[in-house]
Structure 1
Amino acid sequence: MKVLIADDDQISRMITKAAVEQSGHECIVAVDGDSAWELYQAHAPEAVVTDLMMPGLNGLDLCRAIRSSEDDNYTYVILVTSHGSRKDVLAGMEAGADDYVTKPLDPFNLHIRLLAAQRITSLHSDLAKYRTALSNQARTDPLTKLHNRLKLTEDLGELHNRGDCPPRDYCLAMVDVDNFKSYNDIYGHQAGDSALVAIASTLAREVRESDGVYRFGGEEFLLVLGEQSEETAAVILERVRSAVHDLRIEHSGDPDGVLTISAGVSAFTQGHRAGAEQLLREADLALYAAKASGRNRVTLASALITDR
């Protein structure tokens, strides 16, 4: 465990450092509260052993700064007081300390508290991992492992609220698997799931890592293509459409004999700073037009709108 020691008294620092190292932990040493805060930010220690009274930030201020800066990680703070008065201990706990020891420091007492610190910080670390895993799971489609609509809503919100000046261009592409209902009827839902997984993997492979690929629902997918004009997005979607066709997933109920996709593309560009909901509607209308004109093709929303 990485332990930060903050104490302006040299003898106290030496005793505390020796006790911490004897307990098998790595030591970082600060000579006052201000340098302790800088070292904390630079090294993110799992535990802090801080004197109550120091130049600059005192122990209480350091506790408050640590607690206000924490995110998923948790730092165990042990306050060192000169006489352990109830008033000092209470003030320390209210400021965010987890425990306290009194001077002169007893190495055994500190060792016991560091054992507790190791357990608590380990538990917090495990909980942070579980929270991250649950958060990712809530934003991931369980079948295709693509992002889901919750993540799409968050990402589109971020695109429209990031405050860029000028705003960054991007395109939306609504993608639908052609004649998928008949595919399920002919080959069964298990085969349909396998086909969706294969198509999802192809979509993700054919765009940049920085682009967003989402399962929008059923056999519909959505692509968010950053820094693209409608024309360059159309080129990308033609490549994606061709790659899906080249999978050669047999479909006797489709005129092409294989599973294909259709796509509709809308654009957030100079002169058309539409909101996310409008862009989704435009992409959906373009997709409908692609379906109506024969499927297995890409249609631009701008081709359907003569006057924006």
Structure 2
Amino acid sequence: MRVLVADDDPGSLLVARAAVERSGHDCMTAADGGEAWALFQAHRPDVVVTDRMMPVMDGLELCRAIRAEEPELYTYIVLLTSQGSRDDVLSGLEAGADDYVTKPLDPFVLHTRLLVALRITTLHADLAHYRRVLSEQARTDPLTGLHNRLKLSEDLEQLHARSARHGEEYSVALCDVDNFKSYNDLYGHQAGDLALRAVASTLAATARRTDGVYRFGGEEFLLVLPRQGVIGARALVERALCAVRDLAIPHAGDPSGQLGFSAGVSGFSAGHVVSAEMLLNEADAALYAAKAAGRNQVMLAP
């Protein structure tokens, strides 16, 4: 673990540092609360061992500042105090400390506190990992591996706000696999799933690194293209359509004889300032127009 020890008494600081290093942990030290706070922000230690009474920022203020940060990983705080009254202990715990040790410091006692700190910080690290995994799973389509509607709503809201604030354009493209119901009827749902994965992979490979590709639902996919006008967006989607055709997935239920898709594109710009919801509606209308015009093509919203 990385342990930060803060104490304005040089003797106590040396004893604490020696005890931490004998316990097998990395140690950094601070001679006052202000220095300790700067080191905490720079290095995010796993454990902070802090004296209660220090200049610049005392131990209670340091505890409150650390807890106010609410970092992803938990910092275990041990308060050193020569005042062992119940009120002092309670005020320390209320400020955010996890445990306390009375001075003069007993290295064995600090060693036992560090054992507890290791268990607690390891548990919190595991929980943080599982939260990240669950958060990613909640935003990922299990069939295609693309982002889903939840992630789309988050990303599109941020992009729209940023584009409106900075006067930047962006486009969205709604793509729908043509005659997909008949594909499932002819080849079965397992083949349909494989076809959707192939289309998803092709869209993701064609998109730029900064673009977002989402499964919108069923056989529909949505591309979100930051800093891209509708002309450039249409060209990108047409390249994706050509790439899907190049897969040469047979489809007897489509006039072309192979799997393809139709798409509608709309864009946010200085001359077309509308809500993100309106852009999606416009892309959907353009997609409908592409379907009505014979499918297997890309149409721009008016």
* 2:156 maps to amino acid: L
User: Aligned ranges for residues 192-207 of structure 1 at < 5 Å?
Assistant: 192-207=192-207
Q: What corresponds to 2:177 in structure 1?
A: 177
Asked whether 1:221 is paired with 2:221, we answer yes
TM-score (norm 1): 0.96
Unaligned 5+ segments in structure 2 are none
Tell me the secondary structure at the aligned position of residue 84 of structure 2: coil
Q: What corresponds to 2:238 in structure 1?
A: 238
Aligned CA distance change for structure 1 residues 188 and 127 (closer, same or farther; 3 Å): same
**2-side partners of 1:142 and 1:163: how far apart?**
30
CA shift, 1:255, in A, is 1.2
Q: What does the per-residue CA deviation read over 1:24-50, in whole Å, with 9 as the maximum and x for residues that have no partner? A: 100011110001000001111000000
* 2:75 maps to amino acid: T
Asked whether 1:129 is paired with 2:119, we answer no
Unaligned 5+ segments in structure 1 are 303-308
Tell me the secondary structure at the aligned position of residue 105 of structure 2: coil
**1-side partners of 2:197 and 2:101: how far apart?**
58
Count of residue pairs brought into register by the alignment: 302
Tell me the secondary structure at the aligned position of residue 49 of structure 1: strand
**2-side partners of 1:211 and 1:92: how far apart?**
49
Q: What corresponds to 2:8 in structure 1?
A: 8
CA shift, 1:83, in A, is 3.0
**1-side partners of 2:163 and 2:72: how far apart?**
26
Q: What does the per-residue CA deviation read over 1:184-222, in whole Å, with 9 as the maximum and x for residues that have no partner? A: 000000000000001101000001121110000000000
Aligned CA distance change for structure 1 residues 193 and 300 (closer, same or farther; 3 Å): same
**2-side partners of 1:235 and 1:21: how far apart?**
61
**2-side partners of 1:173 and 1:191: how far apart?**
25
Q: What corresponds to 1:97 in structure 2?
A: 97
What is the root-mean-square deviation in Å for CA atoms of aligned residues? 1.0
Tell me the secondary structure at the aligned position of residue 73 of structure 1: coil
CA shift, 1:163, in A, is 7.5
CA shift, 1:164, in A, is 5.5
**2-side partners of 1:131 and 1:167: how far apart?**
35
**2-side partners of 1:187 and 1:160: how far apart?**
40
* 1:110 maps to amino acid: L
**2-side partners of 1:98 and 1:173: how far apart?**
52
Identity score, percent: 65
**1-side partners of 2:163 and 2:119: how far apart?**
42
Q: What does the per-residue CA deviation read over 1:232-273, in whole Å, with 9 as the maximum and x for residues that have no partner? A: 111101101101111111111111111001100000011101
CA shift, 1:156, in A, is 1.3
**1-side partners of 2:151 and 2:13: how far apart?**
49
Q: What corresponds to 1:109 in structure 2?
A: 109
Q: Which moved more, 1:186-195 or 1:157-166?
A: 157-166
Does the CA contact (< 8 Å) of 2:163 and 2:169 recur in 1?
no
Tell me the secondary structure at the aligned position of residue 166 of structure 2: coil
**2-side partners of 1:164 and 1:99: how far apart?**
49
Q: What corresponds to 2:280 in structure 1?
A: 280
